[in-house]
Structures are given as structure tokens and as C-alpha cells.
Amino acid sequence: MKRLLLVAGLALLIFGSVLVFLAFDRTSHSASDTLRPFLITMLPVWIVFAACVRILLR
């Protein structure tokens, strides 16, 4: 059951990351205009998800 939740969470994280990237890419003029805000926005989310995975798989 835990693994199913983690897989579902990972799928949502990937889907959300793609949507956020597309939102930043829509209004950007260069690669740095896309990547920097994307990483600033999504890196904390990925870190929290990784911490949750670590806790749940103990």
C-alpha cells in the first residue's frame, strides 16, 4: 500500500513538474529564463517528496 502511494505521488510530482515547466517556458525568452525559476520553484518540492519517501520506506 505504501509503495502504491509513493508511485502515485511520484506520478503527480512528474505531471506537476511538467506543467510548471511549461508555464515558465511559455513566458520566457531564453533558457535561463525558464530553468532558473523552474528549479527555484520545484527543487523544494522534490526535496520534501524525497524526505517523505525516506520516512515512509523505513
pTM: 0.85
Work out the widest C-alpha separation in the chain, in whole angstroms.
44
DSSP 5-28: HHHHHHHHHHHHHHHHHHHHHHT-
Low-confidence ranges of the chain (pLDDT < 50): none
For 27, the domain range is: 2-56
Number of domains in the chain: 1
Q: 8 is written with which cell numbers? A: 502515485
The confidence score (pLDDT) of residue 39 equals 94
Q: Would you call 28 exposed, middle or buried from its count of C-beta atoms within 10 A (0-12, 13-18, 19+)?
A: middle
Query: What per-residue confidence (pLDDT) applies to 11?
Result: 97
CB-CB neighbours of 24 under 10 Å: 19
